[in-house]
Chain A
Amino acid sequence: MNERLIRILLESFPKILLPGLTMTIPLTVISFSLALVIAVVTAIVQFANVKVLKQIARFYIWVVRGTPLLVQLYVIFYGLPNLGIMLAPFPSAVLVFSINEGAYCAETIRAALESVPRGQLEAGYCVGMSYMQIMRRILLPQAMRTAFPSLSNNLISMVKDTSLAANITVMEMFMVTQRIASRYYEHLALYIEVALIYLLFCTVLTRLQSWGEKKLSSYGAV
């Protein structure tokens, strides 16, 4: 490796990391939090068999999971202006990522809810609790514990998926890297560099996941 390349890599490192901290991570955290809210509601509506809402939930999941994330980004950012709806890049990205991720997480949470034995619900009824009380205090906590590893998986995927936001002009890590790369004509080195930064982020998350799993324990089970 020549000196020039080393200098470029060193100089670009903070320039790439900074949008990682100020864009990629906020985009991920905000979108994933919203996704979880959407997912819990969508999962409960299906699990509890709420009429009409359940059909809406199934339709939502069907559409979102059946279309590419990149296309969804284009529809919202480049398509909606045709209807007179203009959204800034960052809100567009949050909207698409949370709706997209919400559909996947909903299925994870629904499956986890269904894995909770029916007796837990019946026992709740027998001590006089209402369905929503049982859901909030008994079923959902157990389901979220079961879903935790899968949801962590989804979160890790999402960190990497945010690179797609470069396509709708969000100045996140990958976009910044592309610019630096084309200025210096060092595509291989710089794309590997940004890949390593994504890897770093995901490594931290993986560590957090195993810490979280231990912390949550399994209610006394080792």
Chain B
Amino acid sequence: MAMLEIKNIHKAFDGLSVLKGVSLSVEKGDVVAILGKSGSGKTTLLRCINFLETADDGELVFDGETVHLHNASKKDIARIRKKTAFVFQNYNLFRNKTALQNVTEGLIVARKMPRAEAEALGMKMLEKVGMADKAASYPSQLSGGQQQRVAIARGLATDPEIILFDEPTSALDPELTGEVLSVMRQLAREGMTMLVVTHEMNFAKNVSSKVVFMEDGVILEESKPEDFFRQPKQERSRAFLRTILGEEASPKQEETV
């Protein structure tokens, strides 16, 4: 049975339909790369799963438990959020908290973990992403790549079943994407289930176990990465790959993964 199943999500903003019936199932240990042009609905899909947006229709089946996305109760929302972590494009670290406090905040406040225990766990998570030496730094003192790694540590600390990544490297300077991608690769190796909206084709090709291609609010293609990049089934997937890989041919990008 799939760990997470998304059924028929619909979402419109001010009458503009962004998701038109998206369904997707994710197995434990899957690393799903969601690709597509901007405006195709990838980010909205991710945000609906975590209730950062309220979908107009659709269902979520998480560990066999069905939650309706449009009228989920506060309790349901809290339960789903507890099982998931979310990594934002622009990190969204708490600006008034140090790196360590960013990781421990949710543990102490939301999960009532004793401070000492939370701090020990927090340091372990920061070590995992190579940020232990910056534990006392505030976000404004860190580079984008460092902030994103702290954000990943914050997500990991709550022991999620799945991590949702919303274009985790898009706001970074090209030379900083590598450090974040290598952390994500390590997580994938350890068997973490991940749903990754990304423009990093090399990550999708080499790390993901499944590629989902979205356009205009629907999933056009769902394939193994080797199939998607070698012989995409849809004409539109081919067109997308031509544009993207054309851009990616610049030497700077190839180094990153």
Contacts and interface: CB of A to CB of B under 8 A. Distances in A.
A114 interface: no
Interface residues of B, number: 30
A177 B231 CA distance: 91
B246 to A, nearest CB: 32
A119 B82 contact: no
Contacts, number: 74
A129 B92 contact: no
Nearest to B47: A122
Interface in B61-106: 78, 81-82, 84-86, 88, 90, 92-97, 105-106
A127 B96 contact: no
Interface in A116-160: 117, 119-120, 122-130, 133, 137-138, 141-142, 145
A119 B92 contact: yes
B234 interface: no
Contacts of B50: 126
Q: Which of A117, A122, A220 has the most CB of B within 10 A?
A: A220
B111 interface: yes
Given A126-B86, A133-B110, A219 B92 contact: no
Contacts of A130: 110
A174 to B, nearest CB: 40
B254 to A, nearest CB: 31
Give the size range of A's interface with the partner.
Answer: 20 to 34
Contacts of A129: 105-106, 109-110
A117 B138 CA distance: 16
For the residues of A in contact with B, the DSSP-based class is helix
A106 B92 CA distance: 26
B43 interface: no
Nearest to A128: B110
Given A126-B86, A128-B111, A142-B96, A218 B140 contact: yes
Nearest to B77: A125
Contacts of B140: 218-221
A145 B138 CA distance: 15
Interface string A188-222: 00000000000000000000000000000011110
B239 to A, nearest CB: 33
B110 A120 contact: no
Contacts of B82: 128
Contact of A145 (B84, B96, B105, B111): B96
Nearest to B51: A125
Contacts of A127: 85, 105-106, 110, 154, 158
Interface of A: 117, 119-120, 122-130, 133, 137-138, 141-142, 145, 218-221
Task: Report the 5 A-B pairs with minimum CB-CB distance, sorted nearest first.
Answer: A127-B106, A220-B138, A128-B110, A119-B92, A123-B92
16 contacts: A120-B94, A123-B94, A123-B154, A124-B106, A126-B81, A126-B84, A127-B105, A127-B158, A128-B106, A128-B158, A129-B110, A133-B110, A137-B109, A138-B96, A141-B96, A221-B140
